[in-house]
Amino acid sequence: MKILISDPLAQEGIQIFKDEGFEVEVKTGLSPSELKSAIKGVHGLVIRSATQVTPDLLDSADSLKVVGRAGTGLDNVDIPAATAKGVIVMNTPGQNSNAAAELAMGHLFALSRHIARGHRGIKEGKWEKKQLRGRELKGKTLGIMGMGNIGRILAELGHGVKMNVIGYDPYFKAEEIKARGAEPVSFEDLLARSDYLSIHVPKTKETAGLFNAANIAKMKDGAYLINCARGGIVDEAALCDALEKGKLAGAALDVFEREPLPADSRIMYADDVVCTPHLGANTHEAQVNVAVAVAQQMSKYLKTGVADFAVNAAK
């Protein structure tokens, strides 16, 4: 059976496929038309965030049995179309959670102590010591939206610097959120009480545009908003308005409505915003973890029919 890897994958994952006896082709950066040609005769497709698994692509797949996402997010996969074609879609949840949580924590420090602006000023020959008085995290309230693996690890990190941690997740019971290290609160309380509000939920119909002007207005005055989850959950225009009006003290974004971030984006020129280019899972450790996991899961499914972490059921 044949495996096509259409996005970069750590060598450790590629080797697992080879050791399991699969024919492996690594073809990254293909155009949609090139991918439609390359997928013929392929039984397993390995993707990350760049490849778009569309109905058109699935129509060209004459042998495809499984799509494996080396990571968590699946907003680049048309899952209903895959299901209709009898193609299993699976991801690797939890394998990059530590990386994402550590990045979010890093953004808290960067915002609180003006690290990015201080660094930029030094490079430009400035010495802005008086202008860059920061805040300490100790004793502040960290609000976490989404108490899955990433939220749970971030809660641990928050407690480590003596923050008060509150959490909201409609899919967990109050006692489950408490067991994951956060005081369970409503969404309204999360907005009102958080000094730092960090988002860790997938982009869905319910969460797209959730942090709009109305909900940002409900946040605590002088709070910080951090999004290392998915672009489009935060309304960037509303965020810029809130920053310009002084409603929020700052924001940190690792994900954006459009990626790469266009040069004319207001976020590019907004004050008190720290930006990174979608680095959440981009650590050496996380890349190996997701590569190994997706290779093991897909190999198991193709050989035994057992689908770990499948998000659909093939018809």
The answer to whether residue 188 is catalytic is no
Q: With contact defined as beta carbons under 8 Å apart, do 109 and 132 qualify?
A: no
Q: Which SS3 state, helix, strand or coil, does residue 80 take?
A: helix
Q: Evaluate the CA torsion angle 131, 253, 192, 140 in order and state its sign.
A: negative
The answer to whether residue 266 is catalytic is no
H helical segments located in 165-283: 174-179, 187-193, 213-217, 236-244
Catalytic residue among 23, 188, 244, 259: 259
Nearest to 252 by CA among 263, 243, 244, 260: 243
Residues 93 and 293: their CA atoms lie apart, in Å, by 9
| Vertex 275: Cα angle to 273 and 278 (nearest 5) | 150
Catalytic residue among 48, 230, 236, 257: 230
Point out which residues pair with 144 in neighbouring strands. Answer: 167, 198
| Vertex 203: Cα angle to 99 and 232 (nearest 5) | 95
Q: With contact defined as beta carbons under 8 Å apart, do 262 and 283 qualify?
A: no
Total Cβ atoms within 10 A of residue 188: 11
Cα–Cα separations (whole angstroms), residue 10 to 24, 253, 294: 13, 26, 11
The answer to whether residue 34 is catalytic is no
Q: With contact defined as beta carbons under 8 Å apart, do 88 and 312 qualify?
A: yes
Residues noted as catalytic = 230, 259, 278
